[in-house]
Each structure stands twice: as C-alpha cells, then as structure tokens.
Chains A and B, each alone.
Chain A
Amino acid sequence: MIQFDLLRMGDSSKISIADDLRVDLELDKIIAVASNGDKLISETWSNMLLLRNSSEDVMRYRQEAVRDALANRDVINKMYSIARDTIERVKRDVFILLLRTDDPPAVARETSRGIRILLDGLEEMLTLLKSSPSFSSTAFREFVSSFTANINDQFISSARGVASIFDTSRENITFSVKIGSSNYLKDPVLLVPREGGSFLSRILSLGKEYTYKLDPRDEAGPRIVYDIKKWVLHRSATVLLRSFNDMMKFFEDLMRQLSFYVGVINMSDFFARIGLPQTYPEVNPGVFAFKDLHCLSLATSMSSKPIPSTLSINASDSFAILITGANRGGKTTFLKAIGQALLLARAGIFVPAESFTIPTPGAVYTHFLRGEDRALSYGKFEEEVKRFRGFANFLRRGDFVLMDESFSSTNPIEASVVAENVVSALVDSGVNVAYVTFLQDFIYNFTRRYGERAVLLVPERLKSGERTFRLVRGSLQPGYAMDLWVKLSNNPSKEQH
C-alpha cells in the first residue's frame, strides 16, 4: 500500500467550537482566497485551521512541506490535476450507482472498468514523478519513495490484464463446483477463461460436455443463471471492489492532501499581490511577540494592507491581554488578527507579519458577543455562561481564549465579578487570554492582582486627538474619577454655579 502523510493531521478531530471560530474569526474569507473556488481546498483548509491538536513538530513538518510546495509549485499543481482528472474520469465513466454491493457481476464489470482508468492515472503520476526534480521536504520525499516502491510498469501491465478479463469477457464465466448438502452446489471456483480453442479441439470436446439450452420462453431461467453468476463472482467482485476503492481512496487522499498545498500556493500569490509580509511562525516558550501583524480577513475584504499591530510580551507565565477603550479603535480587528495568525501558525502556514512568535501552538477558542441587541437580560447572560461552559471542559494549558465583550449582557458590576472569576481561573490554569472588555471593575482588579501578566492595550490617540487605529500599552489611572470628584467638590464656585 502506498503510504504517505503530507499533512500530519493526527486524529484530525475538529475543535469543539469550530463553527463559532469560523464565524468569529472570519475564516471563510481567508479560506475563499486559498481555495479560489475549489471546494476541496476549501474543505481541507477549514479542517486544517480548525484542528484540535497541533504541536511544534507538526508545525515544522508542515512548514517544511509548505516551503517545498512553493518551490515546486508546477509539480504540485500537476500532481493535483492528475489526481483530480483521474477521479473525474472514473466518476464520469463508471456507473458508481451500479456498485450496489449486492450485484457481483455488475460490480466486477464496473470496477474493472474503473480500475483501468485508475491505472492510467497511476501511470501518468509515475511518469511525472520519474521526470521531476526531487523534493526536499520529508513529507513529499516519503510520498515519492512509497509511490515508486509500490507502483511500477510491471504492476500496471499485469493489473490491466486482469481487469480486462472482467471488463471484456462479460458474463460468460467458467467455474468448477462441487455438490454439497441437499445436493446444493458448493465451493465454486471461478476459473480463468480459455480462449475459444481450435475447431479440432471443439470437435474433440463433443460428448465430453453436457449442454443445457435455455428455452426462449423460459423467463425464470435467465434470472436463475444470473443469481448463480452473482454467487460465483462475489469473491472476485469483493477483491475488485476493494482494490478499486483503495485505488480511488489513494487518489482521493492524495488529492485532498495536495489541496492544502495548492491552497498555500494560492495564498502565497495573494500575499504577493497586495504586498503582505510573509513569515513562518516561531515557537519560543516565554515569548508572545509579533511585528506588523495584519488582520488577514480584513486584508481579503479590502484587497489591500490593513493597519498592522505590533506587540511583545513576556509569556514565561500565561497571560491576559485586556483590550479596552473607545469604539472603532481596531480592538476587534486586533483580536481577529491574533486569532487568525494563531490558527495559520498551528496549521504550518506562513502568517501576514514581519515576525510572529508564540509560546505554544495551543488551540484557540473564541467567546464573542452575539447579536446586535445590547439590552441586558439574564436569559442572554445565561446563554453566554452556557456557551462558555460548553468549551471550558476542553481547555488545556497553553491554549488561547479570545473574548470579545464577554458577559456584557448583564450589568457591569456583576459581570465584572464573573469575568474576574473566569479570567483569573483561566490564567491560573495556564491558558492565555485576549479580552476586549469595558468592564472597569474587572480591569482594575485584575491588572492589580496580576501585574506583569496582565497586559492592558488601548487605542492610540495622537496628541492632536487623531486616531491611528493602533493599540498601545495603556495604564490604569486609579482614583481618576475620585480625583475629579475631589477636584470639582473643591471648587465651590463650580458647585454653586
């Protein structure tokens, strides 16, 4: 069997809140650019971005293969089209519907026809790989060596021969058989048909063969004969069907795995077109830092470079980034940019930044405000709490939770208590948090308690009052309101005014 694993998807289970992530982080926009209308690429990318598991090793394995694919883009595209065309031809020419597994003669006929098409595809692939420059990545090198170890000209020609017996001899089958209990026929052995034979040998066989001719009016006869054929052919049909399915599966697997890399090629082209920087993320425990990180989904809708962000924090412990401040300051965009880059990084894909370093390739969870209705309601609050609880069981040390105005469906006083409970618990458990929030009690208490591990970001405002849509480190101004109070109360004129 041809062994290859270009993706290292592991058990490939999706993250529990895949659908939320998809919406909250606008992944469809990114996937649309990568897939360029190809449904399979779109599926593969969505699977890859939403994988529950990743690791530094897997990231590096994929990054190496991504670089390799970009370097050999023509070969990758050609392999993809061979696989795709072969599968399409099979689907066009083989009556897949006839592959009902209760009709062995039809299965044998159709699968053998399918196998002949698949063999053509294998032959084409073999020719391409023989004449192509060698790959440098482990992923593609392993594929090529396993493929050529299993598929060679000799296999292709003998397989064609066998398939043609079933494809051409139709149903004039020959078999040996014994007589068992109740004089039922038993132990049928399908035999390789003998070619017609000479006139003389046919004369000689006269009398050595008993012939029963079906009466043309015998309606049941042909059905019975067909049933016997089903019985005799079912083992061969099983082997043919399995072989056919396996060969199909080979092409389908290959196509699916290659589709990821074809998407990578498309994405790389998009980056080049609008001038996005392209960097391969690093893993460095203790550091969470990026330079000029762009929000990719925003880039795809603007078709130009959005305003980038830069951040560097000490991540030797888990941390919480709290983002607050005036609306329309780019807070949510910032959150999305981080989330998207984290997902790309885990998948082994380059990210739109000058540099991007993460402490761990942990999983990403989102808890974003839902709906436009801002009215406070305990029903909504309960929904929020349940939604959070829904994924909390899955969280692990090193994961990232991105929160956008969580718990704002109740009043800020009590929401703060909840938020503080939640975020403290996460951070203490080794989970990293980025939280867009207006909950002042929470921000105040949390930053005081967590010091360095709490990073407060606010929209930058120039002295002129102009907004830059960048976030910068901010600091709390405790007692500001009190001061103001005192100040105002100390000004009796104003008070008396």
Chain B
Amino acid sequence: MLKIVDFLRCLLGELMEYRSILGERGSMVGNDVAKDLRILELVDDILGRNRDEFLRELYLEPLSREEAAVFRLMVFQDLMINDVYRMVEGFVERIRESERLIQLKEEAYDQHKVGLHLDAALTYIDAVESFYNGLRAIGPRSEGLKQFLNYLEQVINSPYFRSMKERAREAKEARDRIIIKVRFVEDGVKVSKYNGDGEDLTALVERTFSIFKDGNGEEVKWIKSTGDMTHIHAAILEGAFRFYREEYEILRRFMEDFPTVIDEGVRSFAREVEFYLTYLRYMRRIMERGYTFSIPSFTRDGSMHVKGFYNLLLVKAGKAVVSNDIDTDGARRIFVITGMNSGGKTTFAISLGQLAYLSTLGLPVPAVEARLPFFTSIMTAFPTEEDPRESLSRLEHDVVRALNIIKRANDTTLVIANELFSTTTSDEGFQLSKLFLSELNNKRSYCLFITFIPKVASLKFTISLVAMPSPEDPEKPSYRIIPGPPPKEYMAVRIAAKHQLLYDDLRRVVK
C-alpha cells in the first residue's frame, strides 16, 4: 500500500515514483560461459524477430541476489495466468500505438496533427483505464504488479488525466460531426459542407445489377502508392475545417492544453514488461511442442532436485529431445559423467547449465520441476582449439582455467567442465581431475564433470552418472544420463568383436 512519503507526495499533487517491474538489474554474463552454454543462441531464440537491444541486454544479465530473482518469478507467476497475460500484452500494444501516433505528429500537416494528438490521447486513456480496471479485478499477487497497479491508480486520479479524458471526449464528438462533400475536378479538389442531398451511387449500382450479384465474387482492392496524410488530404481537411470552424477550435485547443499524453512511468513499464512478455511468448512456442516450463524454487540446504529438464535449443531445432533428472541432497555436489560417445553427456551438462542460468535471471526454466540453489556464479571449462600463437599447450591451458575456477568458486558456484585434462595420460588426467574436484568439493561448489576417465567416477565425494545405450540397440545412445557406475564394456570393443577383430578372433585367423 501507499507509503507515507508517497501519501505526502499525493497531497502535494505529485505522483509517487514508478518503481521498475524488473526489480533490479544484474550484471553482464562472462564471454566463456555465454559461448560454452550457447547462451547467445538461446537469447536469439527467446527474442525471436524482436531485435530490441535493451531486451537482449536484460537477458544477458544474471542477477546477483536471490530476492531479485524471486521478485521476477512472482511477476511470472501472475503473468502465467492467461487473462493477466493478455491484459498486459494488450496494454503494452496500445501504449505503443499511442506512442506511434505521437511520433507521426512530428511530420504531419497541421490539419492532421490535431487528430493524431487526439487519438494518441484516446488510445492512451482507454488503455490505462481498462488495464487498471481489468487487472484490479483479477488481483495480482506479485509485488511488481501490485506496485504498478498502485501507481496507475494515482495516474488515473490525477487532475491532469481526468480533465484530459473529459476534453478528449468532447473533441472526438466534435470531429464526428464533420461530414463534407468532395468533388474532384480536372485541376483540383472542391470541398463543401455535405447536407445529405446526394444519391448513393454504389447503392444504385447494387440495386440495378442485383440479378447478377454473385455473393462471393471477386473483390476489387485498392493498393495505394501514396500515404493517408498527404498535402491533398490536408487540403481536404482544410476545406472541412473552413465549414466546421467551431469543431476545429475544439480539436486545436485540446492539443494545446494537453501537450503531454503518456505518463513517463507508464512508458517505462510498457518497455520493461516486454522482458516478461517476450519470454512468455517464447515459452508458448516451446510448450506448443509438448514441453513444460516450471518456476524454479531456490533451496537453502544445498540440495538440488531437477526433474525432466531438457535442451531448449534441440527443441527449437525440431530434434528428438530426451529429458533427464539430476538429484543430490547437498552432501555430494560433484557429478562425474561418463559413458558412450555421443551419448548426450554434453547436452545434459549444457541443458542444466542453461537452466541454472535462466533461474538466475528470474525466468521460468525448461523442466517439470526445478529446486536448486541460487547460483551466484556459473563457470565453464569446455575444450578449446589449440591456438598455435598461444604459448600455453592445451593441457597447460586446462590447468590455468581449472585454477582460475577454483580461485573464484564458492558454495553457490556451478562449474561445468567438459573433457578437462584429456590431453594427457589417463593416470595423469585422473590425478589432475582429483585435485581439481577435491578443491571444488572443499569449497562446497557444484560441478558437472564430463570425462572419459572412468576412475574419476570412483572418487568418494562424487556422484557418478552414466550415459546409457538404447535398450533396443546397444550400439545406439538413449540420451538418458542416470546414476550408476561407468560402463564395464567399451563400445569400441563391442564393435571390434562384431567384426571379429579381438584377440581370440585374430588368433584363430592368424596362423
């Protein structure tokens, strides 16, 4: 409800300040994470055809405080009610329409200006009032929308808004009274007041040819190559205003007396709420294909339970999408993922990484259910191309990255490492992995560690996950990643056996 300061401001005839529907802003995501987790592609998909830079930035700014994320998620909860969504969307569209009309005014002839201004006001007034009434009737629960509703109430009750509304109505009535007769002659246009004495030629044509009137025949269209607000239109309006002087004066004075149409706070809201609307539209596109989103909840006990999460980019690409789960009570936080090649390990890690990222923006996430810590930082270490100009080898590079990660990691960090330390012997790789993961474990960080070294999964403080083959065809992946020990049999061995290339086969053949 109104705070005392706001109340005092009201008394002074001043509006309380608009508070952002976004809550607070976050800070820009790091380049590596954005690249490794394919965040830029994801944001492109979310934006769709919208190329608004302001919005793009918002989606690239994870929040640093859990409360800020919850503030936004609450707004989402309201907006996921269809009526609320439609109301907000309609409101934004009409505010934008009003803005467009005002913009048009800049270059319009005087005769049009008065009309554009009036319609900008009419559109705005109606938008604000119907949105306020509609939303209040539903009763939003989020702090964000409640705040804005209070703000709107003040706008509507302000003397400026009220008299603007009254005068706009009068001006429209005046304009509706105008009806003129226009005659095109060889060298120009003649305009006069229309007294209703003409005969409707179209009706006459229709009557005469009624026996030939075929209900659904061809429609003659008119495609204009010129605008609707040209000097010719202005001239016709000028003629009209000559014969309707009083009406014109009403229109002109309305524009003069109410130069500002749209309230600044309303304008900001319309711009900022697109953050929600755009994401909801994206969600709808994904949900149309049979997938679910859920509002994440943030755990405080270190546990993480994400059920049925999936990869948004694969859905978008129309590929077969398998969903997975991940679970921990918080005691062990290091997940080691092993298993067959192309078994969906990287997809699994990226999907969870994206999910965590979206949750830190205060956005609903692609999963059936998502309870997870609020990650204050997400870090990645994915394989990089060997760069000949760089002095470091890839192994050295891996070590540097690992150490940097350890330096910054804490108990609300999520680390996603893919095939780190894979350019050395498996024994050395195991040793490095052990060091790296032990450090993270000591810091109580969370980590998804994808590796071909099965021994890593035997570290006591880890949870071993394995990419399972398809039950129908053991040579094909199921893309399911489930808890369990690394596979005992290697795929490459199985294939060699099928082609009789194992020891015994060769022994029998080579005599």
Contacts and interface: CB of A to CB of B under 8 A. Distances in A.
B200 A231 contact: no
B230 interface: yes
Interface string B169-198: 000000110111111111111111110001
A246 B221 contact: no
**Chain A binding surface SS class:** helix
B240 A179 contact: yes
B183 A104 contact: no
Interface residues of B, number: 66
B201 A192 contact: yes
Interface string A166-178: 0000011111111
Contact of A179 (B115, B184, B214): B115
Contacts of B300: none
Contacts of A173: 183-184
A176 B239 contact: no
A181 to B, nearest CB: 5
Interface string A158-190: 110010010000011111111101111100011
A174 B181 contact: yes
A179 B178 CA distance: 7
A208 B205 CA distance: 29
Interface residues of A, number: 64
Interface in B189-226: 189-194, 198-202, 204-206, 208-209, 211-214, 217-226
B217 A241 contact: yes
Contacts of A155: 211
A233 B221 CA distance: 10
Contacts of A243: 205, 209, 212-213
B221 to A, nearest CB: 5
B322 interface: no
Interface string A85-106: 0000000000000000111100
The interface centre, meaning the residue of B209, B224, B225, B228 with most chain A CB atoms within 10 A of its CB, is B209
A295 B243 CA distance: 84
Contacts of A103: 222
Interface stretch (A209-217, A270-278, A299-307): A209-217
A243 B211 CA distance: 8
A183 B200 contact: no
Interface in A226-269: 227-231, 233-243, 245-247, 250
A212 B227 CA distance: 19
B6 interface: no
Contacts of A247: 212
A205 B357 CA distance: 76
Contact of B212 (A182, A184, A237, A242): A242
Given A162-B208, A176-B182, A227-B225, A191 B237 contact: no
B481 interface: no
Contacts of B179: 176-178
A1 interface: yes
Interface string A110-150: 00000000000000000000000000000000000000001
B116 interface: yes
A385 interface: no
3 tightest A-B CB contacts, nearest first = A183-B115, A191-B198, A210-B239
